[in-house]
Chains A and B, each alone.
Chain A
Amino acid sequence: MTSIILFKHTHFQLSRNLLTRTANTYPLLFKEESLNSFKERKKKNKSSRQKRSRNEGDKVDSEEVHHFHMKDESDEVDRGKRKSKVLGNKKRKNEIIKETMPVEVDKLHNEWESGFDEHNVANEVEEKKRSISRKKKRKHQKLEKAEVDKVDELCNDVKDIANSKNGKSKKAHKMKKKDQLSSRKDVKLLERRGDAEEDEVYQIFAGDDDCSKGMKKWITEYHQSRPGLKILQQRIDDFITTHEAQEEEARKEREAQAAEGGWTVVVHHKGRKKTTDSESGIAVGSVAQAAVMDKMAKKKSKEVGLDFYRFQKREAQRNEIMMLQSKFEQDKKRIQQLRAARKFRPY
């Protein structure tokens, strides 16, 4: 029925309210913001692994400038240092990437899946110990939490002071051993953090009664969005009715305005001519879009071609030349780029 009701209206007015709603239904678009410098640099490394260091130096130079131009000049002094650091990091990073696939993954796998690999027996034992202690700790935390605080589960920062020292040293050890890959600077930072805030692991409970977040929310949303066909139908009907009412009102308003002035406003009707029988709402002479297009294409265009006047021809020529020129410029730029990337080197 809804659909049939709908069909009585040939056009709706756009309402702001509705538009926004549509917008929501579209998939979220990822914003094309410029990316942070740190990431940039990292990617650069990966893509330009083969570049020679002197090239890299140049690159870094320009990039640094690019990234730091916003800062005040007092940082000038720092810059040199940083540059060298970045270079160093780069080298190290390059190594990482070379290794990651086979080596890193190796480690992970060995420890998890086939735990008894020869290489990793030692590691494994250590790992187990650690995980046991971790488990204990977790239990401990839970108990404590249960006792102390039952209401506010979420913002609980349990600090296990007794464990902290132990944990700290272990942490440092772990860092050194496992985290060879991340740059030294990072390690330092992380370590210091460990110092400052103790080794704490934030515990999140399943929250199976909290509808605002997490699994519960998703499941609730899932079920709420499927209330059954009848209700959905009803909702759409409601929407159409209000939409129609708005439509009607707008029309009346227009008419009223026209009547007030004593003038009859002649409105140009958009869209096709009559394709429906106004009483029954049945389509009488609708044509498929494709057919129309086909017909249109067959029609000989009466318009005068764009090269009718001499100036048009000249303009077209000029455009062509401009296009060629810009292509030429782009080619040149590209070749420079390729040369810099040693793209002409077949080995």
Chain B
Amino acid sequence: MASEVETYTDPVNLKVRELLKEVHLDYSPETTKYVHDVVSSIKEAIDQIPENLQVLADVASGFVRDIGADKVEFQFKKPKSIEIGGSYSIQCIAKPDVNIDLLLRLPKECFHEKDYLNHRYHAKRCLYLCIIKKYLNLSSSVQNVRWSTFQNEARKPILVVYPAVKLFENPGLVVRIIPTATSLFSVAKLNLERNNVRAVNQGDVLQATPKYNSSILEDMFLEDNTEFIRRTFLEWKELREALILLKVWARQRSSIYAHDCLNGSLISIIMAYLATKSGGNRINNSMNAMQILRVTLDFIANSKLWDQGLLFQPQGGHNISKEQRGTYLWSFPIVISDPFAGFNLVFRMTKNGFQELRGEAALALICIDKCKDGGFDEIFLTKIDFPAKYDCCIRLNLKGNGEVSASGFCLDDECWRSYEQKVLSLMHRGLTKRAKFVRVIWRNTTLDCNFENGLAILDREPLFIGILVSSTEEAFKKAIMGPSPENKDEALEFRNFWGDIATLRQFRDGEIAEAVVWEHKEWERHLIIKEIIEHILSRHLSLSEENICTIVDQLDFSLLHGNGDPKNLLDAFDDLSKRLRLLNDIPLKISSVQPLDSAFRLTSVFTPTPHPLAYEKGVGLKLQKFTSTCIQPLEVMIQLEGSGNWPMDDVAIEKTKSAFLLRIGESLQSNWGMTCIATENDVDVFMSGYAFRLKILHEKGLSLLKRQIGGDQAKRVLCTDKQLFLCGQHSSMINGLHGRYSIYGPVVRLAKRWVSAHLFSASLTDEAIELLVAYLFLNPLPFYAPSSRISGFLRFLRLLSEYDWAFSPLVVDINGDLTPGDKKEINEKFMLSRKGYEENMQNVNPAMFLATAYDQTSEAWTRSSPTQAELRRLMAYARSSVSLLTKLILQDQPDSYRWECIFRTPLNNYDAAILLHRDKMPYPSHLLFPSELNQGRRVVCGNASKLFNPFMLPEDIKGSLDELKNKLMVNFDPVRCFVGDLEKKFPNRFKVWYDSLGGDAIGLTWEKAIKKRERGDTCEEEKDLLDALKAVGEVGKGFVRSIHLLKAPRLS
């Protein structure tokens, strides 16, 4: 009991315990017995192989040919020993990857003394495995044997054995057979500076082959190192737990759990270093698992020792001289010398991989400090894959590309690794300061390789390039400046690199230099980076365009109509506010004018375009063929100078405001010729092609409200002034944020489009979406703030689907002005709102708690929607879109159609669907995809009304200007009218799902299951249902095209 209390006090500790329980492999008697059985059956099968079997190269002729080995025949002898090694032996397996490593010691009799030369060892090793594979396949206890590779090194294949009998708890358990070469060769011959592959030469001088040599040395000391690790870990529970935690951390990050960076055994080696005298006992016995994790991460991220190389205290008399150390550092970017032979344990690690590792470790440390619960979720549970992490992902399809292996598959290094380096250096050179970091990974050995047939098939998987953009400003720069032409060598080099597109230019400061310039419009500048990449890749690697897949603009199709220049609009607004302030024939002066509409802060999906009829008088009128009959007004908030004469009750205040607005409108009309159109509640004025809707904020209205506070929280309706005040605050805050992150706008627009495309317009308000996206930029951990629209959009979807809405408030602190006291208050308010949770899981208000500095109780945007049920639906949709989008980025999808699917909503998820007449939508061009339905049963079909047309008809255009202006309809939206009428008429019968951005389909779900009556009454129910749907059709008469019944309500 006591221990339980203790763990409960610290949520991090508790969560870590739970996590360990989840991933730890239980060493129960059944499991150990099972493993023992499997291993002994494998041993048995190997025992069946006849001694002195002659092995010739033709067993795996392709492999032998491709690695360029000669003289590979040998007589088969039984392995010297077969032992369990790796993570199973030190009880550090982290599920779900349950691998049991079987170290199989190759017999010395099969090898000659000089087999370390020219890949002979590698070839024989492979042939040996071929024989074992053949005999294992004969065994009945083995279901399947497949090839894999040791750390993605193609010349070192290993066998993966799938046992025939599966373990109930871990059906994925496999046994990996890894050959070792203990004391096969002389260590001295494999010295770093020696050449052991004769093909590696320049002219007649043989070059050293450090990687090749290390590759053999690794096998020779694999057993010793495993034993060393085992000794360190075996009696130390905390160390083992920390290792498991670190493995979980690393596996969640696909960019560091890779062949050129980290793997399970390397983590254990680094930890062993820190836990022994070699590493100064940085990890000691008094630490718990989380502390060890922290020390290790800190060491990886910050230690200066890496520059000198980590040296294990030599075991068994071996010592590393200073010169040797120098050679190491010269040959490899990172060095951890092993305790036995002093070879480099991390010879595969590249500088690129190591930088990535350090970056991730540093981020993890920040998460521990800054995030709630010690960053538990961010470190262990958040999957950080390529699409989510990098701003720009590029996939290179190199299948059948001869250039990769032009000079042979394996020399000192393997050709795929060299190619990675080549691509990386090209990227660095082409992108220079645009990229903060570039990562290149080619995971080219998949599980299904058949090594017998050679290595040519290893280019099937695509190569990945991930780019972190340094800043949007940098990335959007139009020109790449080269050297001055006087500097001839450099200029030539520049021209060689960029080719024809390099030109001589004079810059603004008078400097003349070589330069490459990409001309793009303001809203297309995110394409520059794509063009740079494609240009240099196709120029230097002679890749064709279809083999380079740059993920930058694939979702732009959804924002096509929002790309107007916002400058016109902002200018018009400035003019308007000037005119308003100058008005002097109204009783009170206008003290401030503030934009409210999202178009002003560039976050509306469609940037409004000037309408020819919305200009003041005297402006030349040019009507195009498709002149829209509707115009969307943009809200503008006005404040008047103070006065004590305002009435004291709401209604009178509103009426007074209207009176004021009418006066203002009249005045604008007479002074500036601006048309003013008004209803009792709204006043719209036309100016410079836009319609502005004026609103007055009356500060006293706010204090009036404060006095009335109390009563039921959820049902309270915010008064107009409060609502206006919130809008104003929100607008100015988001505006500020947009100034800080220029990519914020496009991400919000994609997010809004997605939400409405899936008919969630009624569930999630635009402001809430803006806040959610703002959160991504303000609290980006464990990532960096997104710098591209696609990564931002993906993370928005992930936030929506993964956030723990039931138990945590989402605090969006835009200007960083929430004090700890405020945060505490927010938390208390949140707890209050969740009190009802115990009684009723479904009825929590608000389901999505969004707190901001101006609205700590989350009553502004998510007070009544989304409801718990709507939120669940939203999350499910988001999850599905996340997996689709991730898949699209990672896998080959040649056509754009699959990308469109992210915005296409399946109508069969609703109980009934209403299709509308497309030519009666106010803005037909806003429609993303026309909907059709062939499912379910068509219950109603309707004709289109002739009264409304989205475009001015030719006969309309002939009238005078005033007549025409009267035909222009401000804020007329039949979809909204229809939905409003439906909700009024069927308040509890249907839930209406619609798209406010021009979708032509409306989904209906039954609000309540129909009460079951007597058995015979089903007919009547059906009739009821059909009648209701008919009534729905009637409500939308002239607008509804058809109604389809997809699912009958459940009877309950």
Binding site for B on A (CB under 8 A): 2-4, 6-15, 18-19, 21-23, 25-26, 28-40, 43-44, 46-47, 49, 67-68, 96-98, 100-102, 104-106, 108-109, 111-113, 127, 138, 154, 171, 174, 178-179, 181-182, 186, 189-190, 192-194, 196-197, 199, 201-208, 210, 213-216, 218-219, 221-222, 225-226, 229, 232-233, 235-236, 239-240, 243, 270-272, 275-276, 281, 283, 285-290, 323, 326-328, 330-335, 337-339, 342-347
Q: Is the CB of B678 within 8 A of A215?
A: no
Determine how close the nearest CB of chain A comes to the CB of B321; give it in whole angstroms: 44
In the complex where A276-B644, A342-B22 touch, is A240 in contact with B945 (Cβ < 8 A)?
A: no
Q: Is the CB of B937 within 8 A of A194?
A: yes
Looking across the interface, which residue of chain B has its beta carbon closest to that of A134?
Answer: B938
Quick check: is B845 within 8 A (CB to CB) of the other chain?
A: yes
A290 to B702, CA, bound (A): 12
A281 to B588, CA, bound (A): 12
Q: Is the CB of A97 within 8 A of B649?
A: no
Q: Is the CB of A213 within 8 A of B649?
A: no
A97 to B1036, CA, bound (A): 30
Other A-B pairs beyond A44-B872, A108-B931, A346-B252, 19, CB < 8 Å: A6-B656, A11-B648, A12-B652, A30-B983, A31-B988, A40-B842, A46-B875, A101-B884, A106-B901, A108-B907, A182-B908, A193-B937, A203-B942, A204-B940, A204-B942, A204-B1030, A215-B1038, A218-B972, A337-B807
Mark interface residues in B645-671 (1 if CB within 8 Å of A CB, else 0): 111111110111011101101100100
Looking across the interface, which residue of chain A has its beta carbon closest to that of B933?
Answer: A108
A30 to B945, CA, bound (A): 29
In the complex where A35-B869, A346-B23 touch, is A30 in contact with B762 (Cβ < 8 A)?
A: yes
Determine how close the nearest CB of chain A comes to the CB of B918; give it in whole angstroms: 12
Indicate the size class of the contact surface on chain B: 35 or more
Determine how close the nearest CB of chain A comes to the CB of B971; give it in whole angstroms: 9
Quick check: is B1040 within 8 A (CB to CB) of the other chain?
A: yes
Quick check: is B96 within 8 A (CB to CB) of the other chain?
A: yes
Quick check: is B359 within 8 A (CB to CB) of the other chain?
A: no
Q: Is the CB of A28 within 8 A of B984?
A: yes
Q: Is the CB of A109 within 8 A of B897?
A: yes
In the complex where A178-B934, A182-B1047, A226-B678 touch, is A30 in contact with B18 (Cβ < 8 A)?
A: no
Q: Is the CB of A40 within 8 A of B1048?
A: no
Q: Is the CB of B865 within 8 A of A138?
A: no
Determine how close the nearest CB of chain B comes to the CB of A224; give it in whole angstroms: 9
Q: List 20 A-B contacts (CB under 8 A).
A: A2-B656, A6-B652, A12-B652, A33-B988, A36-B1008, A36-B1052, A102-B884, A108-B933, A108-B934, A109-B900, A190-B937, A203-B940, A203-B941, A208-B945, A232-B662, A235-B680, A275-B645, A289-B699, A289-B700, A346-B380
Quick check: is B961 within 8 A (CB to CB) of the other chain?
A: no
Q: Which of A28, A214, A221, A334 contacts B1037 (CB 8 A)?
A: A214
Q: Which of B807, B865, B868 contacts A334 (CB 8 A)?
A: B807
The stretch of B7-15, B296-304, B557-565 that contacts the partner chain: B7-15
Looking across the interface, which residue of chain A has its beta carbon closest to that of B700?
Answer: A289
Interchain pairs with CB closer than 8 A, number: 363
A342 to B1007, CA, bound (A): 30
Mark interface residues in B930-965 (1 if CB within 8 Å of A CB, else 0): 111111111111111111100000000000000000
Q: Which of A26, A36, A106, A346 has the most CB of B within 10 A?
A: A346
A33 to B1006, CA, bound (A): 13
Q: Which of A26, A226, A283 contacts B717 (CB 8 A)?
A: A26
Q: Is the CB of A102 within 8 A of B1038?
A: no
Q: Which residues of B contact A236 (CB under 8 A)?
A: 655, 658-659, 662, 680
A233 to B656, CA, bound (A): 11
Quick check: is B974 within 8 A (CB to CB) of the other chain?
A: yes
Q: Is the CB of B948 within 8 A of A9?
A: no
Quick check: is B327 within 8 A (CB to CB) of the other chain?
A: no
Q: Which residues of B contact A179 (CB under 8 A)?
A: 908, 935-936
Mark interface residues in B999-1031 (1 if CB within 8 Å of A CB, else 0): 000000111110000000011001100100010
Determine how close the nearest CB of chain A comes to the CB of B935; give it in whole angstroms: 5
A243 to B646, CA, bound (A): 14
Q: Is the CB of A18 within 8 A of B649?
A: yes
A46 to B898, CA, bound (A): 22
Q: Is the CB of A204 within 8 A of B19?
A: no
A323 to B1018, CA, bound (A): 53
Q: Is the CB of A344 within 8 A of B1045?
A: no
Q: Which residues of A contact B652 (CB under 8 A)?
A: 6, 12, 18, 240, 243
6 nearest CB pairs, A to B: A214-B1037, A275-B644, A46-B876, A215-B1038, A7-B645, A204-B942
Quick check: is B831 within 8 A (CB to CB) of the other chain?
A: yes
In the complex where A28-B980, A229-B665 touch, is A216 in contact with B907 (Cβ < 8 A)?
A: no
Q: Is the CB of A206 within 8 A of B946?
A: yes
Q: Is the CB of B840 within 8 A of A22?
A: no
Determine how close the nearest CB of chain B comes to the CB of A242; give it in whole angstroms: 11
Q: Which of A32, A68, A339 contacts B864 (CB 8 A)?
A: A32
A51 to B881, CA, bound (A): 19
Q: Is the CB of B666 within 8 A of A229?
A: yes
A97 to B873, CA, bound (A): 11
Looking across the interface, which residue of chain B has its beta carbon closest to that of A38?
Answer: B1050
Quick check: is B284 within 8 A (CB to CB) of the other chain?
A: no
Determine how close the nearest CB of chain A comes to the CB of B834; give it in whole angstroms: 7
Q: Is the CB of B662 within 8 A of A229?
A: yes
Quick check: is B920 within 8 A (CB to CB) of the other chain?
A: yes
A243 to B653, CA, bound (A): 12
Mark interface residues in B878-905 (1 if CB within 8 Å of A CB, else 0): 0011001000000000000110111011
Give the interface SS of chain A, mostly helix, strand, loop or mixed: helix
Q: Which residues of A contact B880 (CB under 8 A)?
A: 97-98, 100-101
In the complex where A34-B843, A193-B1048, A275-B644 touch, is A226 in contact with B834 (Cβ < 8 A)?
A: no
Q: Is the CB of A207 within 8 A of B1037?
A: yes
In the complex where A206-B1038, A286-B642 touch, is A112 in contact with B932 (Cβ < 8 A)?
A: yes
A235 to B931, CA, bound (A): 45
Determine how close the nearest CB of chain A comes to the CB of B884; give it in whole angstroms: 5
Q: Which residues of B contact A203 (CB under 8 A)?
A: 940-942
Q: Is the CB of B654 within 8 A of A25?
A: yes
A31 to B992, CA, bound (A): 13
Q: Is the CB of A47 within 8 A of B875?
A: yes
Q: Is the CB of A204 within 8 A of B840?
A: no
Q: Is the CB of B840 within 8 A of A34?
A: yes
Within 8 A of A (CB), among B975-990: 977-978, 980, 983-984, 987-988
Q: Is the CB of B831 within 8 A of A330?
A: yes
A33 to B644, CA, bound (A): 43
Looking across the interface, which residue of chain A has its beta carbon closest to that of B1036?
Answer: A214
Q: Is the CB of A105 within 8 A of B904?
A: yes
Determine how close the nearest CB of chain A comes to the CB of B951; give it in whole angstroms: 16
Q: Which residues of B contact A194 (CB under 8 A)?
A: 937
Q: Is the CB of A104 within 8 A of B908?
A: yes
Q: Is the CB of A12 within 8 A of B649?
A: yes
Q: Is the CB of A346 within 8 A of B908?
A: no
Determine how close the nearest CB of chain A comes to the CB of B103; give it in whole angstroms: 27
Q: Which of B22, B681, B1046 contacts A345 (CB 8 A)?
A: B22
In the complex where A3-B660, A193-B1048, A226-B679 touch, is A208 in contact with B1038 (Cβ < 8 A)?
A: yes
Determine how close the nearest CB of chain A comes to the CB of B8; give it in whole angstroms: 7
Q: Which residues of B contact A100 (CB under 8 A)?
A: 880, 906, 908-909
Looking across the interface, which residue of chain B has its beta carbon closest to that of A142?
Answer: B943
In the complex where A182-B1047, A214-B1036, A276-B645 touch, is A38 in contact with B1052 (Cβ < 8 A)?
A: yes
Q: Which residues of B contact A199 (CB under 8 A)?
A: 937
Determine how close the nearest CB of chain A comes to the CB of B313; give it in whole angstroms: 35
Quick check: is B1049 within 8 A (CB to CB) of the other chain?
A: yes
Q: Which residues of A contact B248 (CB under 8 A)?
A: 346
Q: Is the CB of B762 within 8 A of A286?
A: no
Q: Is the CB of A204 within 8 A of B943?
A: yes
Determine how close the nearest CB of chain B comes to the CB of A190; give it in whole angstroms: 6
Q: Is the CB of B940 within 8 A of A7?
A: no
Q: Is the CB of A215 within 8 A of B1039?
A: yes
Q: Which of B700, B804, B867, B1006 contacts A32 (CB 8 A)?
A: B867
Quick check: is B1033 within 8 A (CB to CB) of the other chain?
A: yes
